[in-house]
Structure 1
Amino acid sequence: MSENARVTKAAGVVGAATFLSRIFGFVRDVVIAWFFGAGLSSDAFFVAFRIPNLLRRLFAEGSLSIAFIPVFTEYLTHHGKEEAFHLARSAMRLLSIILVITAVLGVLLAPLIILMIAPGFTDSPEKYSLTVLLTRIMFPYIFFICLVALCMGILNVLGHFAAPALAPVCLNIAIIFSAFFISPYMADPVTGLAIGVLIGGALQLTLQLPFLIRKGFYFWEKAVIFHPGVKKIGILMLPAIFGASVYQLNILVGTLLASLLPEGSVSYLYYADRLVQFPLGIFAIATATAVLPSLSRQAAAKDFDALGNTFAHAMKLVFFITVPSMAGLI
């Protein structure tokens, strides 16, 4: 199978799984809107959920995967699977330590964080207190989702795309489940959604584990935390973080301004953003996820002609789908 055919097939798998995830995501948003509408509770939930989601997009999907995949591919190509897995275990252990510290700090500093990103909520002590509570419940989600991003990178390089692409379905199902079966029993029903986010994060990580083990990756084997490849990953993450932060800054500013507007504004902004993200996630992100391992293999082999051809093919796929989607949304 040619590289272009492999990319197209992988993009199809990821796109189909992402489409399923987006359908469940749409159902999730309908359920949230049905139960909570656009008001105090939904505003508090969406702002609180925005924080771990922002960190996920900035550090997990936005930079960690982009930096990890090329380095992991390079080790796999030039040093063999055993050394590549050693690198992955080292990155996973160091990342786990950093994430635990980040989660603890996030829980402790939640009041200050909400004050910074949603200053308008201070006008309503009830909304502010609820947002802080939800942030503290959901902040540990960043621990699960960043490890999920690392696991997804490993599986994608090894040619397995289905389980990583289906991971978000777990989150959506968990939130839908929590809305029906946990929220009714909570003093403040919206806290049930926050618990659902944590359950979803744990399920996303759990889904990846059997497939990693099937590929021969065992977490418990020996690894040093400060592996040379980990340092290289960290260096590559810096420009990726900068690039991803531009878009995330727009989201933060939008959230900040919406918090100053009448109640429900944050919810309206969230629902509109979800609609725009629908075609982006299905087509553009699916193609990018599928093509990055191929580009990394070709770069590691210094086959720049093939790399250019693969990149051009991926761009054609994206334009073929997203331009009509853009016209349809308008």
Structure 2
Amino acid sequence: MKVTIYDVAEKAGVSISTVSKVMNNQQVGQKSKQKVLKAMEELDYKPSVLASALTGKRTSTIGFILSDIANPFLAEITRQVEDRAHEAGYNLVLCSTDFKQEKEKRYIELLRQKSVDGFILVGDFKNKDVLVKLTHRGVPVILLAAESHPSLSVNTVTVDNFIGGYEITSHLIGFGHERIAFIAETAGSSQERIRGYKQALQEHSLSYHEDFIVISDSSLEDAKRLAVQLLDSPNRPTAIISSNDLLAMGVLMGVREKELNIPKDLSVTGFDNTLLSKSCDPPLTTISHPIKSMCTQAVDMLVEEIEGVKKEKQKILALPTLIVRKSTDYNPFKTNR
């Protein structure tokens, strides 16, 4: 049977109002307070989160919404955010949207009904109208590992994706690659990485081929299909950049289907430096993000906003790191410009 505030009052030998004052940290005699705390412990009484919400108090819960829990990069972010939130005394309510706007809207509405104290939105959150409504209502929101909307006043913690795209393209150019393809997603992070890719090509006086940038639906199967399509082209690339490590795994599958060797016939790179990049064969050259510090900053900024520490909205831009492994090498098929 569920223990109620009435049971606590009866066991402690005090009034219900005294129990309520203790729960709300209001002034009450020390002797009565100890009686109530002891009764709550013996009865294993847990105050209702919903009841707290109805009285206008914080619920110590954070709505955590991401696009794809199956992505190992987002799974690592989830773990780090949960650890930091727990240290701060908060719990996460996790929702995965599968890149669908209707699910984004439905989960936001559901979590608002549960009176979460704030939101951490991870990755590419597509429903801008929902974000606008949240900010207009004064709901604390953090965008994590996502490009911010210029018209929105929200805190953002992300990595410099332009620099990541520039660094990994420059790495391949340094190995003599001139025909470099890019398998991207529709996310804002991919667009910034493509911008860095184009900048590196331009600085090295290399031609940019429109058909060398292809957009994936974010699945392994589609990345494999696109890789095969690129490798079947008459002027096939000698290197393929993938906008995350998961898509790079699809590229590796496509390369094996074509019976080519990595990196002898084709160099392959990813982004995110997940466990996949370290365990595949050959290990993957990729871009690493400072995930732990990014997640710590995101949770801390959100908690400060929830708890009334007034600060200007911030955009924290972390620097990526190039991790070189065995999936990239010198290009023996270098063309003459």
Aligning the two structures, in what range does the TM-score lie when normalised by the shorter sequence?
A: under 0.3
Higher strand fraction (1 or 2):
2
Higher helix fraction (1 or 2):
1
Q: Which has the larger radius of gyration?
A: 2
Q: TM-score, normalised by structure 1?
A: 0.26
Q: TM-score, normalised by structure 2?
A: 0.26
